[in-house]
Structure 1
Amino acid sequence: MLVIEQLSKTFGDLTAVDGVSLAIPKGQMVGVIGRSGAGKSTLLRMINRLTDPTRGTITNEGRVITSLKGRDLRLWRASCAMIFQQFNLVERMDVLTNVMVGRIAHTGFLRAMTRSFTDEDRVRAIEALDRLDLVPQALQRAGTLSGGQQQRVAIAKALVQNPRIMLADEPIASLDPSNATRVMDALREINRTDGLTVLVNLHTLDTARAYCDRIVAMRAGQVRFDGTPDALTTEKVRAIYGSDDLSGDINEAVTSTSLSSHMSPEPFKAVGT
């Protein structure tokens, strides 16, 4: 259980997150929705401890995450893997090495920087790439891949961290519909097959409805809805956001129609299949 209690973050006079409290059971896939500036990214960054909260606490399995420091904090960040919209890959480095860098919390900074990886690290990386259908690109420079492929490399890099929780901050915002579907299919299959808790920030409401067990809707830093996809009716969306959907003022390449079709060019593969 990941428990967030009265979590707040202020930047000067701006309150980005305002008293958020959530209890997220292990293995749940949660979609966090809201327009730009709602506080979604700040919330995920606080969970990963990339940003420290101004007030409130985060606990996981009885451990107070907000008080972790040093090595314990580094290990938490590894067990709570973060996927970013910008991919965060070294474009001049090959795909396999990019993925193995995800082992830094386990191998140590020096070994990761000198690329002194073990056979176990390589096996884990190849297995992760195989799950994302990227083994043929293993020795290719990351910068030569498409945006969708780079995002799947980022997911593989997160997988080798051996995480218990996976956080994804707008992972499909810059992708075309086909690649966006493949990324969302991958996140959902990881959630189902590995039993990982997945929190994913999304702009499109229909994407959250199609893929997530639970939807948390934020506005002005606060949680305005927390429930099942079916419970988030058009009337409730209108009451929260003042419109029927969340796409009216969002410049995003992904359309809800393309994602809700769930049609991936190739199926996601689990290890050993």
Structure 2
Amino acid sequence: MLLVEQLSKQFGDMTAVDAVSLVIPKGQMVGVIGRSGAGKSTLLRMINRLTDPSQGAIVYESQNVTALRGRELRLWRASCAMIFQQFNLIERMDVLTNVMVGRIARTGFLRSMTRSFTEEDRVRAIEALDRLDLVPQALQRAGTLSGGQQQRVAIAKALVQNPRIMLADEPIASLDPANATRVMDALREINRADGLTVLVNLHTLDTARAYCDRIIAMRAGQVRFDGAPEALTSEKVREIYGTGELAADFNEAVTSTSISSGSHHQKIKAVGT
């Protein structure tokens, strides 16, 4: 279980996240929604400890994450894998090497930078690429792939970290609808097959309602809604955000039962198989 207790972050006079408290059970897929500047990205970066909180605490399985330093902090960042909107791949490197770099917390910085990977590293990377239908692109330069393919490589890179939690910060914001569907399908299948806790920041209400078990809505750094997708009706959206604040084309008919509709098949196998 992941506990976020009165977590806040200030940048000068601006409060990006304001006393947020959450309880995230193991294996839940959570969509975090809100407009730009609502505090979504800062919240995820604090959970991963890429950004230090101004106050509050993050606790995972009785471990005080906010107190971690050095190697323990690096291992936490590996077990709490982060996927970014910008993919964060080395474009001149091939796909396989990019994925193996995800092992840096366990292989060490020097080995990763000199590409001194073990056979285990290679096997794990190939398995992760296979799960995302990317083995044919393994030796292709990352920069030559489409945006959707690059984002799936980023997911494979996160998978080889052997994470317990996966954080995705606007992973489909720059993708076309077809590629966005493939990426969301992959995240949802990993959540189901591996039992990983997944927190994903999204701009689109309909996507959050279609894929997530739970939705957290933020505005001005605060949580304004926390509940099941079906509870986030258009009336509730207006109540929390104001008319048209998030999505004028909000579709109440979209629910988690529509996940498989129009989905692309993903080669997902449970961890350890």
Report TM bin, short chain. Answer: over 0.9
> Residues of 2 paired with 1:30 and 1:261: CA distance?
18
- Deviation, 1:260, is 6.6
8 A Cα contact 1:186 1:268, kept in partner: yes
> Residues of 2 paired with 1:223 and 1:120: CA distance?
42
**Aligned runs of 1:238-249 on 2, under 5 Å?**
238-244=238-244, 246-248=246-248
Which secondary structure state, in structure 1, belongs to the residue aligned with residue 166 of structure 2? strand
Which secondary structure state, in structure 1, belongs to the residue aligned with residue 59 of structure 2? strand
> Residues of 1 paired with 2:33 and 2:134: CA distance?
29
8 A Cα contact 1:78 1:161, kept in partner: yes
Other-structure match for 1:162 = 162
> Residues of 2 paired with 1:15 and 1:204: CA distance?
24
- Structure 2 residue runs of 5 or longer lacking an equivalent are none
Other-structure match for 2:90 = 90
Other-structure match for 2:178 = 178
CA pair 248-232 structure 1, distance change in 2 beyond 3 A? closer
Other-structure match for 1:268 = 266
Which secondary structure state, in structure 2, belongs to the residue aligned with residue 140 of structure 1? coil
8 A Cα contact 1:185 1:262, kept in partner: no
Q: TM-score, normalised by structure 2?
A: 0.94
- Structure 1 residue runs of 5 or longer lacking an equivalent are 250-255
**Aligned runs of 1:142-161 on 2, under 5 Å?**
142-161=142-161
RMSD of Structure 2 on Structure 1 (CA): 1.8
Which secondary structure state, in structure 2, belongs to the residue aligned with residue 117 of structure 1? coil
Which deviations, in whole Å up to 9, do the C-alpha atoms of 1:155-186 show, x marking residues without a partner?
Answer: 00000000000000000000000000000000
1:114 equivalent to 2:114? Answer: yes
Q: TM-score, normalised by structure 1?
A: 0.94
- Deviation, 1:234, is 1.1
**Aligned runs of 1:205-224 on 2, under 5 Å?**
205-224=205-224
Letter in 2 for 1:45: R
> Residues of 2 paired with 1:271 and 1:219: CA distance?
37
Letter in 2 for 1:162: N
Which deviations, in whole Å up to 9, do the C-alpha atoms of 1:79-135 show, x marking residues without a partner?
Answer: 000000000000000000000000001111111110000111000000000000000
8 A Cα contact 1:90 1:142, kept in partner: yes
Other-structure match for 1:52 = 52
Which deviations, in whole Å up to 9, do the C-alpha atoms of 1:46-77 show, x marking residues without a partner?
Answer: 00000000010000000000000000000000
